[in-house]
Amino acid sequence: TADAIVSTLVLCSVPALGPVVAEARRVLRPGGELRLIEHVAAARGWAHRIQTRLDPVWNWIEGSCHLDHETRTALAAGGFDVSGVSEAVQRGMPPLFHRIARGVAVAP
């Protein structure tokens, strides 16, 4: 088991978050930390709709990068305590890429 996992702009590149979240939970000890900073899907609205439509093309252009991953939601669904993970807008970035999740998710 591990005490911590660090993920920096990695989770956007996996096809499906569920299996990765499950593996992180498997290898982390209870109370272990998943420390992350990831770009994530925009909040609901026009940017999110465009991300969803563009994702297949963007994935091909950018080599597995997904615009529409909802990382915090996937971690919570996998049993992690995500109270230490916040989402914010990264100033200076285009709306399709400006939402960032960062913080610490704790394994059950």
pLDDT at position 40, please? 95
pLDDT at position 59, please? 82
pLDDT at position 55, please? 87
- Helix H, strand E, coil C: the string for the chain is CEEEEEEECCHHHCCCHHHHHHHHHHHEEEEEEEEEEEECCCCCCHHHHHHHHHHHHHHHHCCCCCCCCCHHHHHHHCCCEEEEEEEEECCCCCCCCCEEEEEEEECC
Q: Could you tell me the pLDDT band of residue 6, with boundaries at 50, 70 and 90?
A: very high
Condensed to tens digits (0 to 9), the pLDDT of residues 25-46 reads: 999 999 999 999 999 999 888 9
Condensed to tens digits (0 to 9), the pLDDT of residues 55-103 reads: 888 888 888 889 899 999 999 999 999 999 999 999 998 888 889 999 9
Domains present along the chain, CATH in parentheses: 2-106 (3.40.50.150)
Q: Is 104's pLDDT higher than 90?
A: yes
